[in-house]
């Protein structure tokens, strides 16, 4: 009897091992109607997720991507958080992906990202719905409103913030800039003023950001769990605000949230509560975090490159010297005259590479340069691998704004520059981001000098962060 039990256990174990082996083989050797790009899908389910999220303390291309580019070339396959993905550092494929948006590819993010941003977030919507939302957002962030309203408000906020920071022994720049920009944009989006609110809304977004690009394990104590709790709390505030405004039928339109509620009240509304809430959440996040990171890195780069800082200061001091009133606010004509500043901004965002990957999904089998991208697979366009390619940018890790001199103005994504995305989904907040950066730089270099107190080290996991902060001391110019 005992021997029969042993045989049965052995047989079951063998069957399980054989089943697992076959499953693992099918995982690592997926079927395709053509030749898949080279690369490894890693371990079943886990894939190469751990390697993808490994920290990297430089501005260079992440070791995960760099090692595979050296081994496989500019197009390779991998698996991240349970999904098969083709990673592209190939400028031609990147451009093709952006140009074929809505035809051969559509916007897509791994399931964990969708959970973070919401099932009805703008990145997950397609066709008419996406264009409809984009048109609404451009009413707020388009050049007309930037010129008429946002430029002067941004100038005032930068002046006030810098003056406040200069009164302190030091300021942690990333957090300070984030707070400043969040207050500017939250006021325009939802009329939020922290001094008059019982809710610390930004605190929830900070918790959200800490775990945004982290290993997706939703258990207490993990960054991902903190991220999801931050989203939950922020959405609770937004939902309560929406319910109060929906009940107030006599309310006058004061901000972008009111615009969305007006859309929801139409006879045949396209806007739903879920879409409106997810859109507000994404806008509140996107409008301050990426720009704050870029500006913090920019100040660090300027401090390390005095020649660039001198040329930049000369341009801005010339703007001030041409004013009748030296204390007047920045004008649109002055902003548009900032030739060298625009080069500095392009160079900052090229090196910052705030977005480590832009995701799309193949809608059908696609042949490109001898490889097949199977229908349903993800494609990760990798901007850092293009922006830091020495064949495209000479000495790519050098902070050299003059490399953009006499180049045509970039109004959309190109094969060699995609800091703001590309194609139909070119970032609608691009102009706002540039205005924020230019205005802050103008106020900083004309009125202050500064020195680094501590911190400034960067880590990419794979998003950019300053783990020990970047503390500076500001000194008013006489």
Q: Is the N-terminal amide bond of 356 cis, ω within 30° of 0?
A: no
SS3 state at 470: strand
d(CA 438, CA 434): 6
DSSP 331: P
353 Rama sector, left if φ>0, alpha if ψ -120 to 50, beta otherwise: left
Instruction: Measure Cα distances from 391 to 95, 394, 395 in Å.
Output: 17, 7, 9
Backbone φ, ψ for residue 450 (5° rounding): -155, 160
Angle of the 173-190 helix axis to the 289-304 helix axis, nearest 10 = 150
- Residue in the structure block whose two tokens are 């739903």: 272
d(CA 234, CA 208): 9
d(CA 425, CA 403): 26
Closest CA to 182 of 296, 288, 295, 291: 288
274 Rama sector, left if φ>0, alpha if ψ -120 to 50, beta otherwise: alpha
d(CA 263, CA 458): 42
d(CA 316, CA 425): 33
- Given a contact cutoff of 8 angstroms between Cβ atoms, the answer to whether 335 and 440 are in contact is no
- Given a contact cutoff of 8 angstroms between Cβ atoms, the answer to whether 29 and 431 are in contact is no
Residue 427 assigned as binding residue: yes
- Residue in the structure block whose two tokens are 């042949």: 367
d(CA 424, CA 431): 16
- Annotated binding residues, written as ranges, equal 427
- Annotated binding residues for heme, written as ranges, equal 427
């Amino acid at each position: 009897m005992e021997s029969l039990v042993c045989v049965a256990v052995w047989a079951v174990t063998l069957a399980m091992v054989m089943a697992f082996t076959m499953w693992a083989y099918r995982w690592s050797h997926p079927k395709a109607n053509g030749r898949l790009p080279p690369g490894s899908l890693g371990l079943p389910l886990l894939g190469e997720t751990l390697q993808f999220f490994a920290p990297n303390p430089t501005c260079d291309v992440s070791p995960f991507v760099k090692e595979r580019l050296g081994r496989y070339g500019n197009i390779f396959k991998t698996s991240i958080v349970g999904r098969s993905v083709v990673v592209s550092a190939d400028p031609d494929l990147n451009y093709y992906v952006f140009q074929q948006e809505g035809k051969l590819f559509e916007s897509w993010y791994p399931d964990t990202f969708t959970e973070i941003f919401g099932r009805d977030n703008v990145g997950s919507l397609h066709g008419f719905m996406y264009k409809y939302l984009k048109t609404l957002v451009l009413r707020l962030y388009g050049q007309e409103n930037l010129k008429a309203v946002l430029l002067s408000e941004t100038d005032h906020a930068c002046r006030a913030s810098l003056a406040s920071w200069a009164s302190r022994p030091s300021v942690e720049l990333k957090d300070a800039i984030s707070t400043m920009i969040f207050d500017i944009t939250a006021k325009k989006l939802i009329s939020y003023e922290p001094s008059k609110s019982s809710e610390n809304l930004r605190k929830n977004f900070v918790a959200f950001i800490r775990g945004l690009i982290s290993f997706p394990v939703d258990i207490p104590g993990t960054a991902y769990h903190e991220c999801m709790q931050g989203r939950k709390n922020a959405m609770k505030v937004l939902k309560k605000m929406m319910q109060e405004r929906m009940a107030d039928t006599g309310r006058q339109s004061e901000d972008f949230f009111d615009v969305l509620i007006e859309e929801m009240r139409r006879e045949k509304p396209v806007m739903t509560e879920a879409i409106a809430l997810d859109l507000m959440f994404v806008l509140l996040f996107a409008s301050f975090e990426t720009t704050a990171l870029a500006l913090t890195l920019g100040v660090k780069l300027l401090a390390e490159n005095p020649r660039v800082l001198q040329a930049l200061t000369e341009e801005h001091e010339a703007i001030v010297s041409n004013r009748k009133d030296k204390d007047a606010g920045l004008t649109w004509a002055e902003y548009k005259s900032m030739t060298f500043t625009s080069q500095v901004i392009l160079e900052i965002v090229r090196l910052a590479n705030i977005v480590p990957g832009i995701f799309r999904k193949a809608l059908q089998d696609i042949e490109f340069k001898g490889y097949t991208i199977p229908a349903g697979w993800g494609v990760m366009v990798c901007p850092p691998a293009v922006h830091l390619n020495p064949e495209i940018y000479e000495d790519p890790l050098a902070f050299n704004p003059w490399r953009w001199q006499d180049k045509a103005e970039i109004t959309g994504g190109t094969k060699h520059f995609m800091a703001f995305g590309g194609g139909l989904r070119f970032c609608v907040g691009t102009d706002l981001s540039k205005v924020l950066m230019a205005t802050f730089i103008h106020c900083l270099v004309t009125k202050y000098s500064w020195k680094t107190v501590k911190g400034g080290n960067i880590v990419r996991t794979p998003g950019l962060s300053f783990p020990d902060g970047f503390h500076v001391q500001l000194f008013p110019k006489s």
